[in-house]
């Protein structure tokens, strides 16, 4: 698979920084997903093979569908910056997703190397070293190429980590980012022993009843607005009623995105921290969701993006009088 000269340059710098470091911290973005966890753990295992001391960190816990990955239970939710001589972030499409820098601003001071592995179009290259490829389907895709570039062996467990991230970010190889190169890489990872059956089951075929109930509320509220956008929402009262959390919304947006006449879909979800998160998806080639999400300070990919705004959700209902069956006219009333 061809790697651009620019990415090779960043790969060389990243490899040198890792070889010169002994104590390394790898950060996954807040509310981590399959790609954030898979890329973190694959890199951790590779570096441990080189004799490095490596810590995986994230402000939020690993999601249940990634807990089966080996060493997923070793994540920490805080760390001492002074204990490390290299910091790496994986799959953080924006600096705010790193989160740790808010209380540890020295992370981005340049005092120590900070490697930023990512594949989001919105990435602002906030690291001192930036192996960023916006054309990659997942950070795990970039990580595979990095391991190949370095000549590092990909073990069975690493292959499972990488395939987990790729499978998650391509929606089980069903999204438009599942290109021929992606299928080739999946074949290589499978041939190395990646546990595709376990990955598929955990990501797409394991759903608790409380999550199903939450999805039911979201799907029941779905509507297509005047701009041909499919919209739905979920709030704190819904989480409480279903004994669920915001993480349980994962996957339902693919159903919202299946409306054939819709340009794109939006799922608004209310968080405990006073933020409303917007998740956007589309199947349309002429829609760039990263540009749309940027209107509210968000970003991501052309076909999958998101944003967060301060506030809370409040439903509005509009009723209008339309012609009765068999009639051609009605009063122009809307309330």
Query: How is the chain split into domains, by residue range?
Result: 5-203, 209-310
pLDDT digits (tens, 9 = 90+) for 171-227: 899 888 999 999 999 999 999 999 999 999 999 888 889 999 999 999 999 999 999
Model confidence at 334, pLDDT cuts 50, 70, 90, reads low
Domain covering 5-203: architecture = Alpha-Beta Complex (3.90)
Residue 323 has pLDDT above 80, yes or no: no
155 pLDDT more than 90? yes
Residue 327 has what pLDDT? Answer: 67
User: Computed from CA positions of residues 196, 201, 203, 204, in that sequence, does the dihedral angle turn out positive or negative?
Assistant: positive
Q: Using an 8 Å Cβ cutoff, are 65 and 203 in contact?
A: yes
Query: What number is the average pLDDT over the span 105-129?
Result: 94
| Contacts of residue 292, Cβ cutoff 8 Å, sequence gap at least 6 | 264, 280, 305
Strand-pairing partners, residue 334, are: 320
Burial of 237 (0-12, 13-18, 19+ CB in 10 A): exposed
Residue 317's pLDDT is: 78
Q: Please give the CATH topology (third level) of the domain spanning 209-310.
A: Diaminopimelate Epimerase; Chain A, domain 1 (3.10.310)
Query: pLDDT, tens digit, for every residue of 94-116?
Result: 999 999 999 999 999 999 999 99
Local confidence band at 326 (pLDDT 50, 70, 90 cut-offs): low
Q: What is the pLDDT of residue 144?
A: 98
Spatial separation of the C-alpha atoms in residues 277 and 233, rounded to whole Å: 10
Of 49-63, 159-173, 227-241, 271-285, the poorest mean pLDDT is in 271-285
Mean pLDDT computed over 82-103? 95
Q: Would you state the pLDDT for residue 316?
A: 82
Q: What is the mean pLDDT of the chain?
A: 93
CA of residue 235 relative to chain centroid, distance: 21
> Does residue 163 register a pLDDT over 80?
yes
Q: What is the reported pLDDT for 322?
A: 76
């Amino acid at each position: 698979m061809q790697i651009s000269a620019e990415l090779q340059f960043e790969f060389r710098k990243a490899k040198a920084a890792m070889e010169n470091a002994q104590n390394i911290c790898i950060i996954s973005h807040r509310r981590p997903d399959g790609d954030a966890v898979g890329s973190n753990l694959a890199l951790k295992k590779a570096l441990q093979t080189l004799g490095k001391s490596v810590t995986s960190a994230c402000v939020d816990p690993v999601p249940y569908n990634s807990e089966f990955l080996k060493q997923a239970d070793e994540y920490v939710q805080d760390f001492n910056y002074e204990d490390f001589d290299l910091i790496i972030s994986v799959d953080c499409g924006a600096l705010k997703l790193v989160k740790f820098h808010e209380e540890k601003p020295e992370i981005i001071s340049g005092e120590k190397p900070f490697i930023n592995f990512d594949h989001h179009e919105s990435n602002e290259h906030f690291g001192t070293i930036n192996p960023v490829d916006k054309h990659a389907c997942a950070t795990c895709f970039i990580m595979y190429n990095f391991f190949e570039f370095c000549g590092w062996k990909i073990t069975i467990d690493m292959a499972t980590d990488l395939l987990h991230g790729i499978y998650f970010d391509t929606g089980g190889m069903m999204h438009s980012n599942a290109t021929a190169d992606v299928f080739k890489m999946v074949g290589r990872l499978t041939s190395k022993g990646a546990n595709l059956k376990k990955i598929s089951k955990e990501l797409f075929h394991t759903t608790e009843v409380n999550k199903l109930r939450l999805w039911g509320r979201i799907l029941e509220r779905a509507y297509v607005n005047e701009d041909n956008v499919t919209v739905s929402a979920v709030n704190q009262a819904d989480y409480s009623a279903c004994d669920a959390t915001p993480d349980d919304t994962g996957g339902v947006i693919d159903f919202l995105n299946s409306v054939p006449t819709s340009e794109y879909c939006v799922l608004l979800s209310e968080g405990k921290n006073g933020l409303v998160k917007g998740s956007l998806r589309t199947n349309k080639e002429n829609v760039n969701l990263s540009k749309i999400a940027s209107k509210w300070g968000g970003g991501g990919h052309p076909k999958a993006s998101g944003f967060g705004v301060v506030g809370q959700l409040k439903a509005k209902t509009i009723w209008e009088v339309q012609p009765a069956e068999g009639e051609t006219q009605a009063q122009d009333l809307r309330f």
